[in-house]
Amino acid sequence: MSNLKRVFSFALSDFYRHKGISISAIFILTLTTLLVTGLFLMRGTSNYLITVIQDKIDITAYFKEEAQEQEMLDARDEILKSTPNIKSVEYISKEDALGDFLDKHKGSDVFSKALSEVGGNPFLPSLNIVTKDDTSQYEQIANVLESEKFSKIIEKVDFSEKKATIDKVFSITSSVSRIGLITGLILVLTAIFVVFSTMKLIINNSKEEISTMKIVGASHWFIKAPFVIEGGIFGLIAFIICLFITILLVYFSSGLLSVIMPGFSLLIYFFSNFFIIILIQLVTAIGLGVLASFMVVNKYLRV
């Protein structure tokens, strides 16, 4: 117990003795933790945007006039069985298609006149299909619908008309995710390097104390422990500061993001992942502070 008290005493003493460097270490750990937290929040935001964009991509199968409703529903069930990654398959009757068209172009004399000239309901019943994260699924679905099995009831599938757009959208969204991940890793690795450099500076300033402890026969554990604890103290303070800053930033930016991205609330996303964010910040701040201190002093003792 006396050794443990001495270790804590040395750690606190070194913390106060080098206040300027201690503040720098806390600042660097806070920035690093904020960066990691920001990457997590940005990932949630980008995933929402990608989902919204991909949900706008679909293909439609149009049925022939003489097709029976049960035959159309059987085709829908067949698609759901044959393709596991389907997000939704919506059956739209002729009446629903006409109703949607009238609602969309309400008040437009041009479209009203065009419908009057055509007479009756010019729309065909259809299946509107959305898949999950894979362009190849659309081609597979189109092949199934265009097979001989459904040739008697299906008029056309618009996959060939939308193929270029679908490929481009999925290519862009996958590139955005990949670039974001690579950029985030580079920034985090740079921040970690700065943290290690700062901890090295702190331990270098205490080299006389380390040399003295080695001369009097102190164990390696006894020499390392104060610096590891000091790194933990830096991390704990950085975690508290970071959590407070994160809550403020999320609170004040949530309203702006809701205007830019209707349907997405950063505040709700933050609190629904609150414990994960706390864990990320704790591991980043305290873990990085302790690990950097341990590795630097361990390397110093081997010299």
Domain ranges of the chain: 2-53+171-302, 65-152
Stretch 251-273: mean pLDDT: 85
Q: Is the pLDDT of residue 68 over 90?
A: no
**Model-wide pTM > 0.85:** no
Which carries the bigger pLDDT value, residue 208 or residue 284? 284
Q: Is the pLDDT of residue 133 over 70?
A: no
pLDDT (0 to 100) of residue 242: 93
Q: Is the pLDDT of residue 243 over 90?
A: yes
For the chain, give percent helix, strand, coil, nearest 5: 75, 5, 15
Top-ranked range on mean pLDDT: pick from 139-143, 190-194, 270-274: 270-274
Single-letter amino acid, residue 299: K
Dihedrals phi, psi of 89, to nearest 5 degrees: -130, 115
Q: Is the pLDDT of residue 302 over 80?
A: no
Q: Is the pLDDT of residue 218 over 70?
A: no
Q: Which residues pair with 131 in a beta bridge?
A: 86
Please choose, from the candidates 48, 88, 255, 79, the residue with its C-alpha nearest in 3D space to the C-alpha of residue 150.
Answer: 79
DSSP states of 182-241: HHHHHHHHHHHHHHHHHHHHHHHTTHHHHHHHHHTT--HHHHHHHHHHHHHHHHHHHHHH
Please choose, from the candidates 199, 177, 234, 242, the residue with its C-alpha nearest in 3D space to the C-alpha of residue 35.
Answer: 242
Q: Which residues pair with 90 in a beta bridge?
A: 128
Long-range contacts for 216-222 (Cβ within 8 Å, ≥24 apart)?
Answer: 220/301, 222/3, 222/6, 222/7
pLDDT (0 to 100) of residue 301: 63
**Rounded distance, CA 157 to CA 143, Å?**
9
Those residues whose C-beta lies under 8 Å from the C-beta of residue 84, and which sit 6 or more positions away, are none
- Exposure of 80 in the CB half-sphere (CA atoms within 13 A): 13
